Structure 1
Amino acid sequence: MFFTYILGIAGAVVGAVLLAISTLNPAAFALFSASVAEVTAPVSTAAGAVVRAIVAVPDTIGTYFHVHGENEQLRARLARSRGALIAGRRAQIENARLRALLQLRDRRPEVVATARIVSTSASSTRRYGLLNAGAWQGVADGQPVSGPEGLIGRVLYVGPNTARVLLITDAESVVPVVRLRDNRAALAAGRGDNMIDIRTIDTADAKFRPGDVFVTSGTGGIFIPGVPVARVLRAGTESAPARPFARADVLDVAMVHRAFMPPPPPAPTPRPTPSPTARATADPAT
């Protein structure tokens, strides 16, 4: 209590002195106030920062939980949107492929059946595909099979409701083809590894170039001319590796066409036998 009284009296004396100075000499009081403010400003700033930090703690905690919950909602919404985006993209791709199938069907009136590729032997040394259409749907041995991207193969044998397809990548498959840029004839032979070898059929230098596109020629029948087969990957002379346009391991729908029969050559026109009168007129010696 004694020290409390002492501090109170000292505070009153200091206050009276400051009041007298501010009244008698305002300039000196202003200088004194500025000096005190310079000394106490850092302390006041630090104290104010501490007070503001303490006051902001509840708001910070509330904001954290709010932002955390909002982030969870945004993640869930993003996951739902991603699923919808993937489904929409798949539907777009499927629609494009179905439109290509319809266009191909419109261009090729000899379509026998449209079927699904149930399975393929991608892991085997042979390359086969299985269609869920057979003799009851009009499918027969030897008929070519194609998809929106190009040729798939030909029917090897049929059952009542299924058909086995020899893919063009099989080692036993050989398809007559022509190069688009110069109509040069060649053979597309399967390699058994989902790739094709383009081989020349004459002694001239073929000079296969990367990017060369080959389509069916229709030579020998079976395969409809003009169906895309493969694109050359690397340059070559007598042969070159090529990648087929249609991959049966990623296709699900294919079309079976009626086997192509090239038109027969025109029959020679018989020349009329000249009459005796015409021969006598044409021969002055007679």
Structure 2
Amino acid sequence: MAPPSNRRPGFSRRAQYRRFIGYVIAATGVAVAAVLMLISTLSPGAFSPLRGAARDLTTPLSSGMDTVRGWFGSMTGSIGEHFGAVSENRRLKQQLADSRRLVLQARTLGRENRRLRALLRLRDRNPDTVAVARLVSSSAGSTRRYAVLNAGSRQGVRQGQPVRGPNGLIGRVLETGFNNARILLIIDPESVVPVRRTRDGMPAIIVGRGDGLVEVRAASVANAPFLSGDVFVTSGTGGIYPPNIPVARVVRNASDSSVARVFASPDTADFAMVQQVFMPEAPPAAAGEAIPQAGDGDE
């Protein structure tokens, strides 16, 4: 027969002894605590050795815990400083990139201002200026080299007028519209410019090659030597280009003909100036006006 589930511990002597001992220990603890409290109240100095011994036991543990706590605190601070340094580094990099963009913009504006000032000074010195306008486009992907000028017949631009920039000759007007003009560049194969060498005045002609360079050919001297660095300017021959406009510089030594680089590249010129032709054609005689003949008026 199974024992009942509500059996009390009084039926087991072992359980009774265990419970009795627990009561004794609890009563003893209460009595000891009461005595200790009474002694600490009546004589506080009696526990100084015990407190010192307790401190000796707990001080290393407290020191170790403080070290661990400081290490964790420093590690947290180091992590925060790391992320702060990363954020500051990104901010400084962005600031440096912005500063570089501003510097590049300032340099670009400075170069453009210098070109415009040079062109304005040139226009002020030259009374034959027709118009100053922007070069809006140029044909760089073809052997034929043209440019479009943002000025036309409305501004007084006419066919055949020379076009130059602050650095040198660009070309001549080929066609005109009401507010635009087509420019034949001197680097075009159909362009021929009479020039002279600055160091000795030797006449020559410059012909475009279609690749951004020009060819200098001697006009009257056979096997004429061309030296690297020779500068050629317009001579005024032909009655289109005014004299002394810089045209090109020879890039290598040669004989009879040589390759040269133009001073005014249309790819880098923003503005251009249209001038009057050097020797304009004489106006036609009015209808019915008699042309004087030799000996007229002689009786």
Shift of 1:243: 0.7
CA distance in 2, matches of 1:108, 1:87: 31
Shift of 1:88: 0.8
1:249 aligns with 2:285: no
Stretches of structure 1 lacking an aligned partner (at least 5 in a row): 1-48, 263-286
* Counterpart residue number, 1:202: 220
Aligned residues: 215
Map of 1:164-243 to 2, 5 A cutoff?
164-243=182-261
1:153 aligns with 2:171: yes
Q: Give per-residue Cα distances to partners, 1:75-129, cap 9 Å, x unaligned.
A: 1211221121111111111110011101111221100001111211111121111
* Counterpart residue number, 1:121: 139
| Matched AA of 1:72 | R
Q: Secondary structure at the match of 1:182?
A: coil
Q: Secondary structure at the match of 2:166?
A: coil
1:112 aligns with 2:130: yes
CA distance in 1, matches of 2:246, 2:68: 77
* Counterpart residue number, 2:84: 66
CA distance in 2, matches of 1:124, 1:54: 72
CA distance in 2, matches of 1:107, 1:101: 10
Percentage identity across paired residues of the two chains? 54
Shift of 1:201: 1.0
1:103 aligns with 2:121: yes
Shift of 1:250: 2.1
One of 140, 146, 152 as aligned partner of 1:134? 152
Q: Give per-residue Cα distances to partners, 1:123-152, cap 9 Å, x unaligned.
A: 112111111211111011110000111100
CA radius of gyration, larger in: 2
CA distance in 2, matches of 1:206, 1:51: 92
The TM-score, its normalising length taken from structure 1, stands at: 0.71
Shift of 1:53: 6.1
CA distance in 2, matches of 1:160, 1:73: 53
The TM-score, its normalising length taken from structure 2, stands at: 0.68
CA distance in 1, matches of 2:181, 2:226: 35
CA distance in 2, matches of 1:240, 1:59: 72
1:260 aligns with 2:278: yes
| Matched AA of 2:266 | A
* Counterpart residue number, 2:12: none
Q: Secondary structure at the match of 1:92?
A: helix
CA distance in 2, matches of 1:232, 1:50: 79
Q: Secondary structure at the match of 1:165?
A: strand
Stretches of structure 2 lacking an aligned partner (at least 5 in a row): 1-66, 281-299
One of 74, 77, 95 as aligned partner of 1:77? 95
RMSD: 2.0
CA distance in 2, matches of 1:77, 1:246: 37
CA distance in 1, matches of 2:77, 2:167: 61
Q: Give per-residue Cα distances to partners, 1:203-260, cap 9 Å, x unaligned.
A: 3432111111111111121101111101111111110000111111222210000000
* Counterpart residue number, 1:277: none
